[in-house]
Structures are given as structure tokens and as C-alpha cells.
Amino acid sequence: MPLITAQQVKDYSVFEAVKGRPDALLGYDILQAETEVFQEVGHKFDSVEYPTLPQEVELALVKLTEYYALVNSDESIAKGYKSEKIGDYSYTLGDGTVVQKPAISSLLSAYIKSSPGSGKVNFRMRSI
């Protein structure tokens, strides 16, 4: 069962493309966002450890779902767009607008778990 609902995403968003997106398609966008968040933090937010979803995690999921809904609903991607990429997180559409993936690391930082006994330090580097 998803951690957030399609209605939460629609309530948060100011984009008509997101508000008008069918719930079934938003469900796939939510799945995509959850998968990324779970990979970022190293665990799923199960009901035993997290009886209620932390607000920071909920906001990160809503923002990321909104991003995926915008990207997945844009026909210009299927029809072709200017191939101008900034890292892995943005692209330029044919009309020159840029959609950038939201920065959610700060929202999730308190919930990142490392593997027990790994002894490894996990960090991410970003080019500027």
C-alpha cells in the first residue's frame, strides 16, 4: 500500500497537469517516488518502526511524485526535446522550459540508515 495518496499530491500541486492526472497514473508516479526514497534512506517506512509517516518523508514523497507526474505527463518528451541535460536531474523541453528534480536529501537526512555491520560510510557527491 502506498505511503501517500494521489489526492495528497493533487492537493499540494499548483500544476494543472498534475491536478488533472488520473489517480491510476499518479499511483505509478507514487511508486516511482517511493522506490527512490527507499533507496535513498536504505529502508522502507514500515508500520512497526514508523506508526505514522514522518512529515518530512511525506513532503519528500509528494514533491518527488509531483516531479514524476510532470515528467511522465509531458508529451514533448515522447515527441523529442532539446537534448540539454544538467546532471541526472533535469532536462530542457522543446519550448526551453526546465524541470528539475526536487532536492529531497535534507528532508530525508534524519531517516537514512546504514547497513548494520557494514563499517562503510555512505555519502553522495554532486557536481556543481
Per-residue pLDDT tens digits for 103-113: 999 999 999 98
CA angle 46/50/52 to nearest 5° reads 110
Break the chain into its structural domains and give their ranges: 6-111
Three-state secondary-structure class, residue 51: coil
> Which of 15-24, 91-100, 119-128 has the least mean pLDDT?
91-100
pTM exceeds 0.85 for this model: no
Residue type at position 78: A
In this prediction, residue 87 carries a pLDDT of 46
Any alpha helices (H) in 13-88, and if so which ranges?
16-19, 23-41, 55-72, 75-79
Domain 6-111 has CATH 1.10.150.250: no
User: pLDDT tens across 67-98, in order?
Assistant: 999 988 876 654 555 554 444 555 555 555 56
**Selected residue with higher pLDDT from 121 and 18:** 18
